[in-house]
Structure 1
Amino acid sequence: MLKNDLFLRALKGESVERPPVWMMRQAGRYLPDFMKLKHKYDFFTRCQTPELATEITIMPVDQIGVDVAILFSDILVVPQAMDIEFEMKPGIGPWLSNPVNSEKHINEVNIPDVHDRLSYVFEAIKLTKKTLDHRVPLIGFAGSPWTIFCYCVQGQGSKNFDKAKAFCFSRPDLAHDLLQKITDTTIAYLKAKVEAGVDAVQIFDSWGGMLSPNDYQEFSWRYIQQIIDALKNDAPVIAFGKGCWFALEQMSTSGASAIGVDWTCSPKTARKLTNNQITLQGNLDPSRLLSPPKIIRKMVHEMIDEFGKDKYIANLGHGILPNIPVDHAQAFVDAVKSYE
């Protein structure tokens, strides 16, 4: 029995005494203890070592008191399992020396046995659950097929993912082949995460907002919908699309348990677009955590007032930034916890 089930109750739409609170990328670069491990172990070593992943996952629960843990990992472990050899280059980020941009290369991409290739993730989940000892729920996550596709075709991060989009528009047949392979792998991966013990899953569509509403339907949402359909009876699913306010109405009827909202969409608009029928999560601008703690507290209480305390999970509108002072992150969490 969970000692703190606020998050799961909010996902069900139940009335709660206050909203639950967590932060995307909460187990990360703003925490001094995380930085110590970063200097000692490279990125994917941290992801692939269950003991390290567990330690990092639990840091924000212990240190700033969030209501839910999210497993420390990365969206790129999925393409790595598909024999797409990503590395994490210092100062650059995700890097693929041989981008997937030909029919031959796409045909060579494997749909792996996730239990074999990603066993370290499931071991980390089991160890994290044991170490958490029922204190808070645990979220597992994956990148949306479109977001992973962007990195696979572009070969690295980008301001506009022009190469990825050009490939979609010039060879949509091949683009859909790769997107489907990523989707099939992601479904198997998330199902295995649920089997290993996560309490909910989140799909991160970080680059969905790069697409027009019509192209979003074709190259992103149709694949996210497949994942929701496959997972919704196994565990609650949260769908988050950065810059995808135009799809909120459709997302709200998708079978997901909650929808993430970024800071470019007001709570009022988000509630209107979703007909107040679904739990919403978000949406403080991550840069706003650079404001003085007193201002953070005021803005958080205003945010909760606008969303309403029920059917709501307090969060940022995207991942926490590495230059946020820990006491400012603490102010955000404490502001939610002190809400009346």
Structure 2
Amino acid sequence: MRNLKPNAPLVAAALGGTPSRPPVWFMRQAGRSLPEYKRVREGIGMLDSCFMPELLAEITLQPVRRHDVDAAILFSDIVVPLKAAGVGVDIVAGRGPVMDHPVRTVADVEALPILDADVPQVRQGIEIINAELTQAQALIGFVGAPFTLASYLVEGGPSRNHERTKALMHSAPETWHALMRRLTPTIINFLQLQVEAGIDAMQLFDSWAGYLNEADYREFVLPYSTQILDSVAGVIPRIHFGVGTGELLGAMSEAGSEAMGVDYRVSMAAAAQRVQAKVLQGNLDPALLFAGDSAVRAAVRRIRGEVDAAGVGHIWNLGHGVLPTTDADAITRAVAIIHEEG
């Protein structure tokens, strides 16, 4: 590993060491639920804000200042590297990423640009973030997994069933693999520039992989996620997370990350039996932040017991992202409870 922050609890835990306190960060902690986020983003589009260094740094740092979490997660979006490469995409409020032109044929794949240049706005944002973070606070880089990006491209936007994506996989597998080979360098290049700029760890997000069965995941996704994680092997700690991926945890862990994220549908005890990774991340139900401190404390004690019994390392997180209507003070209290009990 490169010269990382030895006093950062998240880095210590991710590398299998003993952290100075239970490390905790929350997916989607940067934005959504924070009133200060809504103020600074007013009148500014989501994708635009990801390319404004001072703004993306401010949003990334807001939850660290407010909640005392042990890591910042780079404010970004899964489609940022596509936008940076020149793909026509926008994030439509209330819907999500929408493509100008879906990618469904060999010609579409061949026309898809590859990110092969710097993204100076992101690099500058990381430099601003690191100027404020302490040696005990890690910065986690953000990259979307190739299946999730491919699904947005094939469907043309968000999908409930991913039917066009699955149809392409099975009716034209050569086109599917060509698309994945086209996307993987873009993701790797976006990750590498974050590493060069100074991130301390990374998480590979696969938002939609949970819609696949294990056989399809292994054939159509795993080789490419492995290639992405391999690109920073031995450089920074790697976390791999997917939504609704309980049945895929074993296969996903074969991609090689030091830590595996676990969503709230799977117990930590079950996850520990399924994965190769020696560190787990998760898996407090985000809805419990609406249930009061006693419910959060009980869940934290239960999860801690499962992790201790399994004998694995642990990074605290939610089993998915912070819900938009979550009270910011409830998040702060949950972090304090985890630091006390976890």
Shorter-chain TM-score bucket reads: over 0.9
**Letter in structure 2 aligned against 1:295:** A
What secondary structure, in the 3-state scheme, does the structure 1 residue paired with 2:231 have? helix
Q: Deviations over 1:66-94 (max 9, x none)?
A: 00111111110112233221101122221
Q: 1:320 aligns with which of 319, 322, 332?
A: 322
What secondary structure, in the 3-state scheme, does the structure 1 residue paired with 2:203 have? strand
> Which of 35-44 and 247-256 deviates more?
247-256
**Letter in structure 2 aligned against 1:332:** A
Deviation of 1:207 after TM superposition, in Å, equals 0.6
User: Contact between 1:252 and 1:278, CA under 8 Å: does it hold in 2?
Assistant: no
Structure 1's consecutive aligned runs of 4 or more residues displaced over 6 angstroms after TM superposition are none
Q: 1:335 to 1:21 in 2, by over 3 A?
A: same
Q: Deviations over 1:127-172 (max 9, x none)?
A: 1111224351101010000000010111111111111111221111
User: Contact between 2:82 and 2:115, CA under 8 Å: does it hold in 1?
Assistant: no
Paired residues, number: 337
TM-score, scaled to structure 2: 0.94
* Equivalent residue, structure 1, for 2:110: 107
**Letter in structure 1 aligned against 2:49:** R
For the pair 1:298 / 2:298, whether they are aligned, the reply is yes
Please give the residue correspondences for 1:1-20 in structure 2 after superposition, counting only pairs within 5 Å: 2=5, 4-20=7-23
Q: 2:45 aligns with which of 42, 45, 63?
A: 42
* Equivalent residue, structure 1, for 2:174: 173
Deviation of 1:101 after TM superposition, in Å, equals 1.4
RMSD of the TM alignment (CA)? Answer: 1.8
**Letter in structure 2 aligned against 1:122:** R
Q: 1:66 to 1:310 in 2, by over 3 A?
A: farther
Deviation of 1:251 after TM superposition, in Å, equals 3.8
Q: 1:94 aligns with which of 97, 101, 108?
A: 97
Please give the residue correspondences for 1:1-340 in structure 2 after superposition, counting only pairs within 5 Å: 2=5, 4-115=7-118, 118-274=119-275, 278-308=278-308, 311-339=313-341
| Structure 2, unaligned runs of 5 or more | none
Deviation of 1:2 after TM superposition, in Å, equals 4.4
TM-score, scaled to structure 1: 0.94
Q: 1:339 to 1:310 in 2, by over 3 A?
A: farther
Deviation of 1:97 after TM superposition, in Å, equals 2.9
Partners of 1:289 and 1:248 in 2: how far apart?
25
> Which of 290-299 and 149-158 deviates more?
290-299
Q: 1:17 to 1:234 in 2, by over 3 A?
A: closer
**Letter in structure 2 aligned against 1:246:** E
Partners of 2:133 and 2:269 in 1: how far apart?
36
User: Contact between 1:19 and 1:313, CA under 8 Å: does it hold in 2?
Assistant: yes
**Letter in structure 1 aligned against 2:144:** G
Partners of 2:314 and 2:332 in 1: how far apart?
20
Partners of 1:228 and 1:286 in 2: how far apart?
27
User: Contact between 2:8 and 2:138, CA under 8 Å: does it hold in 1?
Assistant: yes
